[in-house]
Amino acid sequence: MKSPPKIRPIKKKDRPRLESILKALKHFQPAEVQVALELIDIALTQRGQEDYIFRIAEGAEGQILGYICYGQAPLTDAVYDIYWIVVHPASWNQGTGTALLRQAEEEMRLRKARLLLIETSSRPAYQIPRAFYGKHGYKEQARILDYYAVGDPKLIFSKTLTPISPPGLGPRWKEN
């Protein structure tokens, strides 16, 4: 059994490997890769920004396996968007995506997030990511027809985090 990946913040030296991982994923179109790289560049060059928070999954030998990018939705009190979960195909079904998602969810809990959103395409190429979201408790909440292109709705998945306060323990957060 493989050990879980180490999850850490993004570093400048990660960019070339992240680009190669993005290009290895056949369901991403060139424009999607470009947008992902723009967000990576913002995270690497604008120190202190918290619009795009990146966490990197690193294997036992230091190889980058994937990343997650999330941030608080503007003008909300505690809603967070998960913008990207990207895992190299060679690391699929090995717990990398789950480790990234769990780490990000825990960090969002610490930031007092109450609602997590993921937007994605309805194209058949995105079936595996949509199944991954469902497996981890995200439910489809909205479908905006013809959003990305005619016949390609935007799907919005959500997961609610609710506070629990057992007597004497103070506020804590758990998944619904």
What is the average pLDDT value for the chain, to the nearest integer?
Answer: 90
CATH of 6-175, one of 3.40.630.30, 3.90.550.10, 3.40.630.10, 3.20.20.70: 3.40.630.30
- Per-residue pLDDT of 50-92, as tens digits, reads 899 999 999 989 999 999 999 999 999 999 999 999 999 888 8
Whether the pLDDT of residue 106 is over 50: the answer is yes
- Per-residue pLDDT of 123-157, as tens digits, reads 998 999 999 999 999 999 999 999 999 999 999 99
Q: Answer for the pair 22, 36: CB distance below 8 angstroms, yes or no.
A: yes
pLDDT for 96 equals 95
